[in-house]
Amino acid sequence: MKNATKVNPPFALPARVERLGELCYNLWFSWTPAAIDLFKQIDPQAWETVKHNPVRLLREVPEKRLEAIATDEAFLNAYDAVVKSFDYYMKDNTWFKDTYAQHTGNGVVYFSAEFGFHESLPIYSGGLGILAGDHIKAASDLGIPLTGLGLLYKKGYFDQRFDMGGQQHADQITYEFDKLPISPVLDSNGKPLLVSVHIIERDVTLRIWKVQVGRVNVFLLDADHELNAPSDRDLTAQLYGGGQEVRIAQEMLLGIGGIRALRSMKLPIQAYHINEGHAAFITLERMREYMKHGMPFSPAAEMVRSSTIFTTHTPVPAGHDAFPLGMFDYYFKGMYSELGGNRDAIVNLGLNHENNTFNMTHLALNLCGKANGVSKLHGLVSREMFRNFYGPLAVDEVPISSVTNGVHLETWMAAEWKTMLDQYLPAEWTKTQHDLSIWNAVDSIPDEEYWNVHTDLKSKMIDFARQNLKAQARRVGESETHIAEIDNYLSSSALTIGFARRFATYKRATLMFSDLDRLDHLVNNPKQPVQFIFAGKAHPADIPGQQLIKHIHYVSRMERFKGKIVLLENYDMNMARYLVTGVDVWLNNPKRPLEASGTSGQKVALNGGLNFSILDGWWEEGYDGTNGWSIDTPEGVQDGPHLDQVNVHSLYSTMENEIVPMYYTLTKGVAKKWIERSKNSVKTLAPVYNTSRMVSDYTNLFYVPTIERAIRFSADDFDRATKLAYHKQFVRNNWHHVTVMTIEDNNPPRQNEETKKTVKDVFATVFSGWIEPQDTAVEVVFYEDKGSHWEQVVLRMDSPKEVGNHLYRWRTQIPAHLTHGDQFNIRVRPFHEDFSHPHELHLVTQA
């Protein structure tokens, strides 16, 4: 493969500014205000026309203009400064190199079905993609040796437009790849590097494209190749397009093709991160690789498990991809022989016994060593959801942890905010942004300066919203009188509430419309008006979601709400930047706990806006009572109309009694109490809910331990993996013999000298059959009253003494008042030092 970092642009540039060709192909520009301004200076109008795509800009701008900037002293000064900043960024020492120098040559690959980097590369649909893009950017900032891998969609997601009645229409646009900030990966002969995936009875050829994101390379696979049949060329046409047949084929291309692409580029990968179940087929392809070189099925599975991480994002079972077994057989029958020919063993890796489907999340959980949700609450929901998958365990023992999502600060913080913070926070504060202490300096920012920055950004957002509404009006044929009226829509002095996200029913975008008279009172209060900005897309197949859009459009056209409730068209990253930096309040009212994390509110918090949300996802852990507001859901209130009523009452009461009065209580023209709460929001949320913290968490908790585990398991011709695989099989075959024979808990109480608590000895006699005692963990399980909840306690018994043939007596101390059966239990589980988690074998014997 040719050099993976250098790009030779397919257009000529004057020698003095030739590195513009390098800058335009590295998305570092997209989170660097000086670089954005540099491209904008070339032709401000064209910059907007090409949707901030510097590759198109440089391809289409007249040659005379390029010659002019090459002699423009002001432009050249700015150019030199940006190039110097870029070189410093690319060569600077990094957190990973300083912290884990021994692992700089051990790569991590991050698989995702979508990546949201920037509006110039529209291959994302929403939160999952934006999170993936922010993850990659933070990995670049921190110097993680990470590679991204996904699919390149010829038609992206879709462009949204509304008709006169508010019906969403999905416009497909076919992108010209040579005008995007991507470049083809070439082989040693300078020709496009190709890989293929066998699907049913034909091979689908994939071309590999590269996106440079700072220090990180992301590779995208493209089936639109002349060697493929037309139907196969369309497999990577659209993100989340088509039915299950297209979905399973896309996921084969992503998972199987992705691994083959990595191998063709000879990239040194030790850890594999699956971002949602779409890419879980990487596990089967990697098993196939090991088995091709003579490794048996079970050791191959151990090798994959030792080096795989899985992140789930979906808090409802229906959201996890699953395919009928007949469909899975049809698509994978050609691969069965390469995986040892044991169809049942392969199917069992992903089998959901409850509905007899092949479930991609089950496949990932079976073949990953570490798994996590994307907020503390979502981790709990995931543990509850997959509790049966792991056997008879308490929820807290299910081996799914959590890493709460964050956002890329440099992408989502307005340049105006960053400029202000540069004056008050320590030098190079962005490099230590997840250090809570540095953010206390926010209190030193004068209220007037703080308020002025916010109101300036709010005015820019309102100007942007008006332009969007005018463009809508012209396209649908509204009168010039109506178009002129839009200049009076929205007010820069009114309290402005934003709601922008995917229009899915559980997000309840129209919740507040259940009381239009109360809404009327809010928006038309002459002294304290409130206005609302809505935006978002519904999936083209989501009819209920599209009905939400129609309803918002209908209400926004009512005379009493006209110009005070607006619905913007074609929500994308560019629009999102205006909204999250300009609103006063960000509204989020999903049905709890269906918001796995959510990140839009985190972007608002970076920019001084305040969150007003159901305590769901990240807000459940981020809200502290002083940094925003919550929409209350009392304990015991279940889903249904009553839940909506309770939430609506809380929503309106909080707005009327707290939010609106606080915003309009001014001291010398400034809302002092509002600013105090806004500063609390920035201080408590910005250092925590950013991807610098998030990706360093992934690195410390998952990436480095997984790299080290994979290295151990690969050593000595995979000796450790092989031994563990056969040990597991031996345990499975013999576990039925394990029996708790007797329990002695009537021993006299005594005081523990260390804890000063009254305890007693408890003994358990266990028959372990052919399994050695050191290969079992015998445990006492009971619950302690913590006031607000009961907490499970697990005590490991020790000092086994042989008291008969394969019969061992174990002991430990427990609180003296506990009695067996009613208040504590004894269980036995397999144990091995190489298990990735204590319940890896899903085997438990209880007394």
3-state secondary structure 709-740: HHHHHHHHHHHHHHHHHHHHHHHHHHHHHCEE
pLDDT at 751 over 60: yes
Angle of helix 447-475 relative to helix 672-685, nearest 10 degrees? Answer: 90
For the entire predicted model, the pTM comes to: 0.96
**3 state SS of 567:** strand
User: DSSP 3-state assignment of 816?
Assistant: coil
In percent, how much of the chain has pLDDT > 70? 99
- Using CA atoms in the order 70, 76, 79, 85, what is the torsion angle rounded to 10 degrees? 140
CA distance 516 to 504: 21
CA gap 42, 57 in Å, rounded = 8
Per-residue pLDDT at 393:
86
The pLDDT value given to residue 96:
97
With a cut of 90, say whether residue 397 has pLDDT above it: yes
Give the Å distances, CA to CA, from 666 to 75, 135, 189, 581, 628.
Answer: 43, 40, 69, 22, 18
Separation of alpha carbons 465 and 583, rounded Å: 12
Query: How many residues belong to the chain?
Result: 847
Backbone angles phi, psi at 193, to 5 degrees: -80, 130
pLDDT for position 641: 83
- What tens digit of pLDDT does each residue of 697-732 get? 999 999 999 999 999 999 999 999 999 999 999 999
β-bridge mates for residue 107, sequence order: 269
Q: Residue 5 pLDDT > 80, yes or no?
A: no
Question: Residue 4: pLDDT above 50?
Answer: no
Average pLDDT, the chain: 95
Which pLDDT value is given to residue 428?
92
Average pLDDT value for residue range 259-263: 98
Is there a contact between 285 and 255 (Cβ–Cβ < 8 Å)?
A: yes
pLDDT at 787: 85
Q: Is the pLDDT of residue 639 over 80?
A: no
Backbone angles phi, psi at 470, to 5 degrees: -65, -40
The H or E element that residue 60 is part of is helix 54-60
Q: Which helix (H) or strand (E) holds 303?
A: helix 297-306
Mind listing the pLDDT tens digit for each residue in 549-593? 999 999 999 999 999 999 999 999 999 999 999 999 999 999 999
Q: How far apart are CA 312 and CA 382, in angstroms?
A: 8
SS3 846: strand
The predicted structure's pLDDT at residue 753? 82
Confidence (pLDDT) at 317: 87
pLDDT, one tens digit per residue, over 304-340 is 999 999 999 999 888 899 999 999 999 999 999 999 9
pLDDT tens-digit readout, 58-96? 999 999 999 999 999 999 999 999 999 999 999 989 999
Give the residues across from 343 on adjacent strands: none
| Phi, psi at 170, each rounded to 5° | -100, 110
Look at residue 568 and give its three-state secondary structure.
coil
- Give the contacts of 539 (CB within 8 A, at least 6 positions apart): 125, 240, 502, 545
Residue with tokens 């901030």: 52
pLDDT for res 3 = 41
Identify the residue with better confidence: 4 or 380. Answer: 380
Rounded mean pLDDT, 469-493? 96
Which residues 6+ apart lie within 8 Å of 456 measured at CB? Answer: 416
* Tens of pLDDT, residues 506-536: 999 999 999 999 999 999 999 999 999 999 9
Among residues 835, 845, 574, which one has the least CA distance to residue 727?
835
Q: What is the 3-state secondary structure (H, E, C) of 200-241?
A: CCEEEEEEEEEEEECCEEEEEEECCCCCCCHHHHHHHCCCCC
231 in Cβ contact with 305 (< 8 Å): no
Residue 2 has pLDDT above 70, yes or no: no
Q: Does 754 have pLDDT greater than 90?
A: no
**Residue recorded with tokens 């089936």:** 223
Per-residue CA distances from 352 to 36, 313, 317, 347, 494 (Å) = 49, 18, 11, 9, 52
